[in-house]
Amino acid sequence: MPETIKWTFHQAVLYKEGEYKSDCAIELARLAEKYTDGRLILERFYRGDIYSTYRDAAVAVAAGEADLCFVPNTVYGPLGIPEIEITNVPYFGVDFATRLKHQRLMFEDPASGGVISKKFRENGVMWFDVTPISVVVLFIDRKAETMEELAKVKIRTPEMESWMLIGEATGCTVVPLPWAEVPMSLKTGVVGGVLTDKGSILQEKLYEMGADHFPSNMSPAGSWYSVYGSAKSWEKLPDDLKEIWIKRIIPHFNTFADEGNRAYLAQLDKILADNMVVYELPPETIEVIKSNIARLAHPNFEAINPEVFAACKKIFGF
């Protein structure tokens, strides 16, 4: 009788059930057991069960100390694969469904995704899919419409240069902070806004902390998670299970994630409409921000790897 293989699967979420990212992880485990007839079992662990941060789980997978993780793509940027950050290069003019299409095309392209996947393998990691989360947006404490008004707002960004440059392009004053410090920083006025993915309103209820205004057309990037596996664990997996994983489990997982994402985004939009002042920045403000992004942010992404950046630029169409 074939051996049952158990993989540890670390989710970068806190919610046990009923939340989109958690439900995706639950479904991946179900699909693995179903399509391998129980030969591959994913033992799920939530953030805090073993690893307290996204980074800790990602490092463990790269070291072969854990088998799988479901984390934001940008986590691996500072861990030896800076090219993954290029997947989040900011650009305007498309909806989220088109951004997702661009992401999948990018990972299929040998000149971009092929290079990134090779870098992952060199660092002990297997990349398996891209999962849509939401757009990167700006939540602030006032209705700021002009560049002069935006300049008076202090916003938190992650402590990564690419995010800081996107924040700077908005005209706001950038204050890089760890996510754990965001709630208190908003409540005490250290910052008056946050550059983050739209899903943060569901997790943290930022509108209750003062960031209750949402310029809905300021969404220059997407937020993406992926399933990453240990190269050591993958090498030990029997060939027939590898084929099942690639050809059956991951495609079905993507279908589930895409359908769930549409419901998730509708849920977020309702929360926004019910709890925030939703407005649009004037076209002239958006044009300045677009120009700033091209001037400030794009050279930073291009410097990471000019060839990968050029391939992504061609696919993304900016």
Compare 94 and 201 and report the one with higher pLDDT. 94
CA atoms within 13 A on the CB side of 120: 28
Domain(s) of CATH 3.40.190.170: residues in the chain: 5-134+221-273, 143-220+279-316
Q: Residues 148-152: contacts with CB within 8 Å, 24+ apart?
A: 150/285
- The pLDDT score that the predictor gives to residue 186 is 93
216-229 pLDDT, tens digit each:
999 999 989 999 99
Reply yes or no on whether the pLDDT at 53 is more than 90: no
136-163 pLDDT, tens digit each:
999 999 999 999 999 999 999 988 888 8
Task: Choose among 140, 145, 156: nearest CA to 190.
Answer: 156
- The pLDDT score that the predictor gives to residue 199 is 84
- The pLDDT score that the predictor gives to residue 60 is 96
Confidence of residue 277 (pLDDT cuts 50, 70, 90): very high
Under CATH, which architecture does the 143-220+279-316 domain have? 3-Layer(aba) Sandwich (3.40)
Torsion on CA atoms 146, 152, 153, 154, rounded to nearest 10? 140
Task: Choose among 69, 11, 6, 73: nearest CA to 43.
Answer: 6
Compare 199 and 188 and report the one with higher pLDDT. 188
- The pLDDT score that the predictor gives to residue 16 is 58
- The pLDDT score that the predictor gives to residue 17 is 62
Helix, coil or strand: residue 237: coil
- The pLDDT score that the predictor gives to residue 13 is 65
Q: What percent of the chain has pLDDT over 90?
A: 77
To the question of domain 5-134+221-273 being in CATH 3.30.470.20, the answer is no
171-186 pLDDT, tens digit each:
999 999 988 898 899 9
DSSP per residue, 69-98: EEEEGGGGGGGT-GGGGGGG----S--HHH
- The pLDDT score that the predictor gives to residue 172 is 97
Reply yes or no on whether the pLDDT at 203 is more than 90: no
- The pLDDT score that the predictor gives to residue 47 is 82
Give me the mean pLDDT over the 18-29 stretch.
88
pTM (whole model) above 0.85:
yes
